[in-house]
Every structure is written in C-alpha cells, then in structure tokens.
Amino acid sequence: MLQVNVLRNNPQWVKERLAVKNFKQLELVDEIIVLDDERKRIQSDYDNTQSKVNAASKEIGKLMGQGKKDEADEMKQQVSSYKIQVATFMESLNGTEKLLQDKIIQLPNLPAQIVPPGKTPEENVVAKEGGVKPTLHANAVPHWDLIKKYDIVDFETGAKITGSGFPLFKGKGAKLQRALVQYFLDYNTAAGYTEYIPPFMVNAASAYATGQLPDKEGQMYHATEDDFYLIPTAEVPVTNIYRDTILKEDELPLKMTAYSPCFRREAGSFGKDVRGLNRVHQFEKVEIIQIVKPETSYDVLDAMVAHVEKLIQSMELPYRILRLCGGDMSFTSALTYDFEVFSAAQQRWLEVSSVSNFENFQTNRLKCRFKDANGKMQLTHSLNGSSLALPRIMAALLENNQTENGINIPTILQPYFGAAVLQ
RNA sequence: GGAGAGAUGGCAGAGCGGUCUAAUGCGGCGGUCUUGAAAACCGUUGACUGUAACAGGUCCUGGGGUUCGAAUCCCUAUCUCUCCGCCA
C-alpha cells in the first residue's frame, strides 16, 4: 500500500510512475488527495468536539465531588448535545476513511526508475544469460514422458486423489524432491538465512498484509469453515512474522528462508502451458525473504539475485535473468528479476524464480517499522525471492540431463540424492 | 469437545467508575563518579493522528454496550494457561 503522503508530496511524479506499470485510473491519485483533505477536516471537527466532552466530563466529576449536584446536572445536558455531534462526525469519518482506504489499495506499487517500459512479457529485458544449453540425444523426450518412463511422478493418481494439477511424486521422484529442498535450504542457511517452517494456512489479516487480499482472493484455496487460506507461497506466513512490529536498527537486516508447499488455484490460466510439471496447483518451493533498511534495499536485491544465480549455476542449468517490464510486474513490486531455466526437450524457458524489492509497499500494510539512529520511526523495506521453486527445476533437470541410460544427477545434488544417475 | 482462570507500555506487574497525564521494578538512553568499565546515584524513556510549532484527539487483545465520564461494569469474539476428554 502506498503512503498518502507520497501522493500528496508529488502527485505528478506518482502518476508518471503508475503509467509505467500501465495503470489506467490515474485520476485515483487526485481523488485520494481530496478524500484525505476531507478526512483531516472531519477528524479535526471530531477532535474538537470530543475535547469539549472530555473537559466537561472532568468538570462534572469535580462538581459532584463538591456536592454541586444541580450544576453538574446542567452540564450533563450540555454534554449530551455534544455527544450527538461526536457521533455524527464519527460516522462521517468512518465513511470517508473507508472510501479512502478502498481507493488507495487499488494503487499498485510504483516501479523503480530502471524498470523498462512495456506491457507484455515479450518486453522484458534480458539482463543476463548463463550456462550451456545441452545437446540432447536423438530420442530425447519432454519431462512428461520421462516421468512415466522412470515412474517418478503420477499425475493420474494425483487427479484421482484430489484433482488435476496435484502431482503424486513416487519413489526416486519423491526422493529427488526431498534432495532439492534439502540442498536449497542448506545453501540458503549457509548464506546467513534463518530457516523457518511456517504454518501452511494463514488468516485473512496475514493474506491482506502481504497483498494477496483483497484483489487476488480467487487465486487462493480458502477453508471457509475457519476462514483460513492455504498459502500460495511461504512469503505470506514468513513476512507476517514481522506484522505490527517495531524493530531496533541493529536487528536489520533480517534474513529468512522457508520451505513450504504452495497452493494455487491458477484460476483463469488454464489451457496454456500446463503439461506435466509446467503448471500445477500444489508444488514445493523454498523461499528467501529479507527485511532491511530502506537505503540498502537495492543492494540487497542485487545480492539476492546473485545468490539465486549461483544456486542455479551450481546445478549446471542454462538460465537467463529478466528484468521485468512495467506491465509484467506484480502489483506489489517495485523491481523484479525473473529467473528462467532452459528446458531443452521443450525448447522453452521456464520461470523458476522471481526476486523482487517491494520497498515499503508491503511493510506499510504490515506496519513493520524500525527506529533509526535519530530515533525516528521509519518503514522497513521487504524483499523476497524463490530459491527455488521445484517443479520446473525438476522438469529442466530431467530433460537436460537425460541420456539413453538414465538421468544424470548434477554433482552438487548427488550426496543429497544418494546416486549419480536416476534410472 | 467440556470446565475454570486470564489478556495492561520492550519485559514483569499494580490498578477494580472521575485525581490514569497508567504506580513500581527490570531493561533502554543520557549524565555524575572513574584511567576505562562495573556498582551506586541523578535524569529520561510508547505508538498513531494532527499542527508551521503548540494545542487537541485516539490507543490498557479486537468488536459492541452501560455512563456526563470506562483500563476498571456488562455482552461478544479471539488468543493464552490449568484440568478433563479425544488423539499422531
């Protein structure tokens, strides 16, 4: 959520930045400022009247103490009339605040200065490319055939148990998943991230704080009986650790990592790119999250990108890093880098990580602040990234490393998997 | 699931209708003393809103109510603890 003061201080600049994200309702900016003026006016009326009530009430207390009951009764009459006014102001204030809130949560985060303009994924900028695309043998096949050949993922039975998009990992497939999770967590904790196992369901307040609610409601599975949401990413519970928190400056930066299954309804996105592990409703992911001082957040973003890059390199996968254009960025992000690995048998790039700086857009909703050296309260900045999402990594590993005699396991993963070849 | 108790500032904890501008202790910060530190002593110490700055307003788990006036009384939700039941 943007801060109203940012809009007030420079509405023209805010509109320019919003336009980079292809946000159309620029008139909201002015509407919000007008509503905020109104809010202040009503608040001030309310405060003044309430102040009279408070003063009179104290006076009544004194008069009662002195036994001047008649004078006290007279004042009570007067207070009653103030109270009617107070109630009116309060009602009007609530209405205005709600309107203001409704409008301000519609504004996406402002993109950073270096975000490229553009509307579609095609306009993302390739910031870097690395690794070597493999040359496959003549009979190479996509991963959805490989998983059948080696009997490691069973979509049909998953569909029987739950529904389509809920894969059942089996045997060496299950073990490879476990190996990847274990390796990713070890890699992240070695870099100073503290490991968490969070709740996999969250309440509405948490989903709201990280921006899943209200607008992405339909993307989450919702347990209505208890009003809990299945998490679409560990970002939600882990970031919410620091909801309504005031940190000390020397506690920053906070570095956290967590494994979790991720549940996504993917409403509206079906019929496209959904074969095999390319898009599923439940998948495993290891996430990294940082909460940092504002002036450091872009350096931290670079460090997180480098961290993920090394992880992908360590598994010898061909990859590229995209700087997302305004139109392809998420609602909450100020700058995002996507990582894609090349899936050789599909001849496609698959997104495996998305690393973003949210600046104070999330922490403003979270109310995650810290006291700086001058004793001033400031919002922290939050960042997160996948390190990494498993299904597409698995797809690329299977496809790129296939041989006539099995799937070669990258050296770094062999101790975790317990073998050099999956057969 | 049943019965009972509770939720107060960073923490512990008092307060049980007006003097709460929330005692006290611990912790934090500043100072005195000291070569330096500790101890001791002195001072200071929340958030939000609002203002040019004051003033003012709000906040004692959330929501609602009683009252001229609520941390305090009532209702309700949530959470925590104890006991019982069930259970990996």
Q: Which of A41-50, A90-99, A266-275, A397-406 has the lowest mean pLDDT?
A: A266-275
Does residue A80 approach strand B to less than 7 Å at its CB? yes
Per-residue model confidence (pLDDT) at position A183 = 96
Does residue A377 approach strand B to less than 7 Å at its CB? yes
- In strand B, the nucleotides that come within 7 Å of a protein beta carbon are 10, 18-19, 47-51, 55-58, 68-69
Kindly report, residue by residue over A169-227, the tens digit of the pLDDT.
999 999 999 999 999 999 999 999 999 998 898 888 888 888 887 777 788 888 877 78
**Among all strands, which nt has the closest C1' to A377 (CA)?**
B47
**Range A230-250 average pLDDT:** 88
The CA–C1' separation of A48 and B66, in angstroms, is 24
**Range A110-134 average pLDDT:** 92
Angle at A74 between CA A70 and CA A79, to 5 degrees: 140
Does residue A79 approach strand B to less than 7 Å at its CB? yes
The CA–C1' separation of A243 and B37, in angstroms, is 39
Tell me if A343 sits within 8 A of A349, measured CB to CB. yes
Residue A268 has pLDDT above 80, yes or no: no
DSSP state of A278: S
Kindly report, residue by residue over A319-367, the tens digit of the pLDDT.
999 999 999 999 999 999 999 999 988 888 999 999 999 999 999 988 8
Residue A270 has pLDDT above 70, yes or no: no
**What is residue A41's three-state secondary structure?**
helix
pLDDT band at A271 (very low <50, low <70, confident <90, very high): low
How many CB atoms lie under 10 A from the CB of residue A25?
Answer: 11
**Range A275-294 average pLDDT:** 91
Residue A279 has pLDDT above 60, yes or no: yes
Per-residue model confidence (pLDDT) at position A72 = 75
Does residue A64 approach strand B to less than 7 Å at its CB? yes
Tell me if A181 sits within 8 A of A390, measured CB to CB. yes
**Among A268, A266, A264, A270, which Cα is nearest to A282's?**
A264
Per-residue model confidence (pLDDT) at position A85 = 81
pLDDT band at A89 (very low <50, low <70, confident <90, very high): confident
**What is residue A247's three-state secondary structure?**
strand
pLDDT band at A269 (very low <50, low <70, confident <90, very high): low
* pTM score: 0.89
Kindly report, residue by residue over A124-173, the tens digit of the pLDDT.
999 999 998 988 888 888 899 999 999 999 999 999 999 888 999 999 99
Per-residue model confidence (pLDDT) at position A214 = 76
Does residue A293 approach strand B to less than 7 Å at its CB? no
Q: What are phi and psi of A19, to 5 degrees?
A: -65, -35
Does residue A47 approach strand B to less than 7 Å at its CB? yes
Distances (CA, A) of A101 to A60, A304, A358, A416: 38, 33, 20, 49
Q: What percentage of chain A has pLDDT greater than the value 90? A: 54
Residue A251 has pLDDT above 90, yes or no: no
The CA–C1' separation of A242 and B7, in angstroms, is 21
Per-residue model confidence (pLDDT) at position A407 = 93
The residue that leads in pLDDT, A74 or A278, is A278
